[in-house]
Amino acid sequence: MNLLSALSIVCGLMLHVCFSAFNAHYCVPRNTIPYQNGMKLFREDGIFNYSAMLIRDDLGVLLLGAREAIYALDINNISVKKAVVYWRVTEEKQRECTYKGKHAEVECRNYIRTLHSVNDTTLYVCGTNAFSPTCDYMTFANGQLTLKGKPEEGKGKCPFDPFQRYSSLMVGNDLYSATSINFLGSEPVILRSSNLALRTEFKSSWLSEPNFVYMDFVRESFGSPDGDDDKVYLFFSENAMEYDFYSKVAVSRVARVCKGDMGGQRTLQRKWTSFLKARLDCSFPEPSLPPIVQDVFLLKHKDWRKSVFYAVFTPQSSLPQVSAVCAYSVSAIRDIFDEGRFKTPVAVETSHVKWVMYTGEVPVPRPGACINDVARKMGMNRSLDLPDKTLQFIRDRPLMDEAVHPQMGAPLLVKRGALLTRIVVDSVLALDGQTYDVMFVGTENGYIQKAVNYGGEMFIIEEIQVYENAEPISILRLSSRQGQLYAGSEFGAIQMPLSNCSRYKTCVDCILSRDPYCCWDPSSAQCSSVYNLSPSSKTAIQSLKEGDVSQCPQLDPVVAIDLALVPGNNIQLLCQPHSNLAQAHWRFSNQSLHPSNKYYIYDGGLLILNASESDTGVYSCDSIEQINSRTHNRTVGVYHLHLHSEPEVVVYPTPRPTVTKTFIHTLRTAAPEPGSGSGSEDPLSPESHSTSSRVSRLEVAVALLSLLCFSLMGVILWIWIRGHLKCFKFLQSSKDREGRRESADYMHIQNRTSEIKLLGPELGRPCSANNNHSAVDFKGNGEHRFPPMANISSLDGLGYIHDESEI
Ligand X SMILES: *[C@@H]1O[C@H](CO)[C@@H](O)[C@H](O)[C@H]1NC(C)=O
Residues 474 to 493: which contact ligand X by CB under 6 A? 490
Q: Does 80 bind ligand X (CB under 6 A)?
A: yes
End-to-end CA distance of the chain: 48
Instruction: Tell whether omega for the bond before 287 is within 30 degrees of 0, i.e. cis.
Output: no
Beta strands, E only, 181-230: 188-193, 211-218
Question: How many CA atoms, within 13 angstroms, populate the side-chain half-sphere of residue 12?
Answer: 17
Q: How far is the CB of 79 from ligand X (least distance, A)?
A: 4
Among the listed ranges 496-504, 546-554, 683-691, 696-704, the one in contact with ligand X (CB under 6 A) is 496-504
Q: Which of 5, 8, 20, 79 binds ligand X (CB under 6 A)?
A: 79
List the Cα angle 123/124/125 in 5-degree steps.
115
Q: Does 753 bind ligand X (CB under 6 A)?
A: no
Q: How far is the CB of 119 from ligand X (least distance, A)?
A: 4
CB atoms within 10 A of CB 770: 7
For ligand X, the closer CB: 475 or 564: 475
Q: Which of 502, 523, 591, 711 binds ligand X (CB under 6 A)?
A: 502
Among the listed ranges 114-122, 203-211, 287-295, 392-400, the one in contact with ligand X (CB under 6 A) is 114-122
- DSSP H/E element including 13: helix 3-22
For ligand X, the closer CB: 77 or 551: 77
Q: How far is the CB of 265 from ligand X (least distance, A)?
A: 12
For ligand X, the closer CB: 73 or 412: 73
For ligand X, the closer CB: 226 or 806: 226
Q: How far is the CB of 400 from ligand X (least distance, A)?
A: 29
Q: Dihedrals φ, ψ of 461, to 5°?
A: -60, -45
Q: Does 591 bind ligand X (CB under 6 A)?
A: no
Among the listed ranges 120-128, 253-261, 285-293, 332-340, the one in contact with ligand X (CB under 6 A) is 120-128
Q: Which of 98, 221, 500, 743 binds ligand X (CB under 6 A)?
A: 500
Q: What is the DSSP string of 659-707?
A: HHHHHHHHHHHHS-SSSSS-SS--TTSTTSHHHHHHHHHHHHHHHHHHH
For ligand X, the closer CB: 49 or 273: 49
Contacts of 712 (CB under 8 A, 6+ apart): 11, 14, 15, 18
Could you tell me which of 272, 288, 294 has the C-alpha nearest to residue 213?
294
For ligand X, the closer CB: 506 or 690: 506
Q: Does 118 bind ligand X (CB under 6 A)?
A: yes
Residues 346 to 375: which contact ligand X by CB under 6 A? none
CA–CA dist 770, 772 (Å, integer) = 6
Q: Which of 2, 86, 120, 248 binds ligand X (CB under 6 A)?
A: 120
Name the 3-class secondary structure at 606: strand
448 within 8 A of 485, measured Cβ to Cβ: yes
CA–CA dist 158, 288 (Å, integer) = 33
Q: Does 122 bind ligand X (CB under 6 A)?
A: yes
Q: How far is the CB of 163 from ligand X (least distance, A)?
A: 5
For ligand X, the closer CB: 40 or 102: 40
Residues 144 to 203: which contact ligand X by CB under 6 A? 162-163
> What number of H helices and E strands is found in the chain?
9, 45
Q: How far is the CB of 261 from ligand X (least distance, A)?
A: 16
Residues 289 to 318: which contact ligand X by CB under 6 A? none
Q: Which of 16, 354, 503, 644 binds ligand X (CB under 6 A)?
A: 503
CA–CA dist 610, 807 (Å, integer) = 16
Q: Are strands 211-218 and 518-521 parallel, antiparallel or unpaired?
A: unpaired
- DSSP H/E element including 633: strand 630-643
Q: Does 46 bind ligand X (CB under 6 A)?
A: no
Q: Which of 31, 32, 49, 693 binds ligand X (CB under 6 A)?
A: 49
719 within 8 A of 285, measured Cβ to Cβ: yes
Among the listed ranges 72-80, 193-201, 408-416, 771-779, the one in contact with ligand X (CB under 6 A) is 72-80
Q: Does 769 bind ligand X (CB under 6 A)?
A: no
Among the listed ranges 75-83, 316-324, 386-394, 747-755, the one in contact with ligand X (CB under 6 A) is 75-83
DSSP annotation of 69 reads E
Name 313's bridge partners. Answer: 293, 324
Q: Does 714 bind ligand X (CB under 6 A)?
A: no
Among the listed ranges 301-309, 379-387, 559-567, 649-657, the one in contact with ligand X (CB under 6 A) is 379-387
Beta strands, E only, 397-530: 413-416, 420-429, 435-443, 447-454, 457-465, 475-479, 484-488, 493-497, 518-521, 526-529
Q: Dihedrals φ, ψ of 391, to 5°?
A: -70, -40
Contacts of 538 (CB under 8 A, 6+ apart): none
Q: Does 468 bind ligand X (CB under 6 A)?
A: no
641 within 8 A of 624, measured Cβ to Cβ: no
Q: Dihedrals φ, ψ of 443, to 5°?
A: -120, 170
Amino acid found at 701 = A
Residues 659 to 688: which contact ligand X by CB under 6 A? none
Q: Which of 2, 77, 182, 589 binds ligand X (CB under 6 A)?
A: 77
Q: Dihedrals φ, ψ of 241, to 5°?
A: -110, -10
Q: Does 88 bind ligand X (CB under 6 A)?
A: no
Name the 3-class secondary structure at 308: strand
Q: Does 137 bind ligand X (CB under 6 A)?
A: yes
CA–CA dist 227, 221 (Å, integer) = 6
Among the listed ranges 116-124, 280-288, 670-678, 691-699, the one in contact with ligand X (CB under 6 A) is 116-124
For ligand X, the closer CB: 152 or 490: 490
Distances (CA, A) of 611 to 564, 608, 666, 796: 11, 6, 17, 20
Q: Does 379 bind ligand X (CB under 6 A)?
A: yes
For ligand X, the closer CB: 471 or 622: 471
Q: Which of 317, 359, 381, 791 binds ligand X (CB under 6 A)?
A: 381
CA–CA dist 278, 254 (Å, integer) = 6
Q: Does 48 bind ligand X (CB under 6 A)?
A: yes
Size of the site for ligand X (CB under 6 A): 25
Q: Which of 37, 119, 186, 536 binds ligand X (CB under 6 A)?
A: 119
For ligand X, the closer CB: 204 or 469: 469
Among the listed ranges 251-259, 302-310, 499-507, 736-744, the one in contact with ligand X (CB under 6 A) is 499-507
Among the listed ranges 94-102, 349-357, 498-506, 799-807, the one in contact with ligand X (CB under 6 A) is 498-506
The b-or-e profile of 561-573 (16+ CB within 10 A means b, else e) is bebbbbeebbbbb
Q: How far is the CB of 173 from ligand X (least distance, A)?
A: 7
Q: How far is the CB of 287 from ligand X (least distance, A)?
A: 33
For ligand X, the closer CB: 163 or 718: 163
The contact set with ligand X (CB under 6 A) reads: 38, 40, 48-49, 77, 79-80, 106, 111, 118-122, 137, 162-163, 379, 381, 385, 490, 497, 500, 502-503
